[in-house]
Amino acid sequence: MTDYKTIKENVNNNTSQSGVFEWNENRIYSVQQACMLQQELSATRWYQEIAFPVEEEPLGQFIAELSGQGSEVYALVGEKDWGYEKDGASLIAYIRQIDQYNRKAEENSRIRGIMADIEPYVMKKWKDDRIGYMNIYVNGMIKAYEYAKEKGLVFILCIPRHYDDQGLEEQLERLIAKGCDEVAVMDYECGNEVDKIKTEAELAYKYGKVLHCILEFQEVGKHELTEDKTYHNKGLAAARAAWDEVDSAYPGLCIIRDYHWSEPVWKLLEEERNEGSSEAGEEVFAYGDTETQI
């Protein structure tokens, strides 16, 4: 059994952190809503989908506002086809655009890094040659990571929790060892998060990487989600209890608590706030509206 008690000495940030996935690329035009959600969750990371070319002024203002509240902004990208490029060309081209933007931006308006949510396993051809395609994916991510490091960008890999279940332990180890600064695991197994993330936790410890535990909050039925894969009906308190269990199981790891994703999380917060404010007859801010509580 691995001893996790010293891993925090090997990572830069030992404080409790949380992050929010934002798949609405137009969110950069409504920074007020993003800042309110960031404050509600005390989020220190914001993973924002950014499609280049992008309007640089509103993006810079968006990042500066969140940065001023203590939240770093990362570019979120998820193109499954990119997982089939052994040279990582498309992802490297995307990183190059981030670097070009950062070179022109003020320090407090720069993108901190990349959350690479590349999912080659969702394509039909994956099952035809898991090992071969996984090797291509790993090679591509290593290339992209090396390029990101050259540009001073943090490279976070978002992965499912089941690569080891597919017999891809060797490739998974190489991916974590050589393909990222941080590994973010979609730990979608409500009530069994500790066991399901064990392999990735072991490897994060072994190679001194920061570990993200991502929990799902989308509705049951969306993207074929079942009740045991999402905290939508269980609520935020249950999710926080699950994160506490993960922290307790791996006390030496630096674990970041990631919410997937902003809109369903805000709906849950809104329900909690509506319950608390209904007796007072207050109207409550809804994510996407332009008005705050009145």
If phi over 0 gives left and psi between -120 and 50 gives alpha, with beta otherwise, what is residue 223?
Answer: left
Grouping H, G, I as helix, E, B as strand and the rest as coil, residue 130 is helix
CATH architecture of 7-280: Alpha-Beta Barrel (3.20)
CA quadruple 180, 184, 187, 188: dihedral sign: negative
Give yes or no for a contact between 211 and 204, defined as CB atoms under 8 angstroms apart.
yes
| Residue 76 contacts residue 49 (beta carbons within 8 Å) | yes
C-alpha 214/C-alpha 45 separation (Å) is: 13
Extract the tokens encoding 185. Answer: 């695991």
Q: Per-block average pLDDT, block size 10, for the chain (294 residues)?
A: 47 71 97 97 98 97 98 96 98 98 98 98 97 98 98 98 97 98 96 96 98 97 94 96 97 96 96 70 53 28
Whole-angstrom distance, CA of residue 291 vs CA of residue 233 = 27
Domain ranges of the chain: 7-280
Q: List C-alpha distances in Å: 212 to 122, 161, 205, 248.
A: 21, 11, 12, 14
How many whole angstroms separate alpha carbon 247 and alpha carbon 245?
A: 5
Q: How many CB atoms sit inside 10 A of residue 227's CB?
A: 12
Amino acid at 149: K
The full length of the chain comes to: 294
260, β-bridge pairs: 216
What does the block give as tokens for 199?
């392999």
Q: Please state whether 287 falls in left (phi above 0), alpha (psi between -120 and 50) or beta.
A: beta
What backbone phi and psi angles, to 5 degrees, belong to 212?
-105, 135
Q: Is the peptide bond preceding residue 53 cis, with omega within 30 degrees of 0?
A: yes
Distance (Å, whole) CA 131 – CA 46: 33
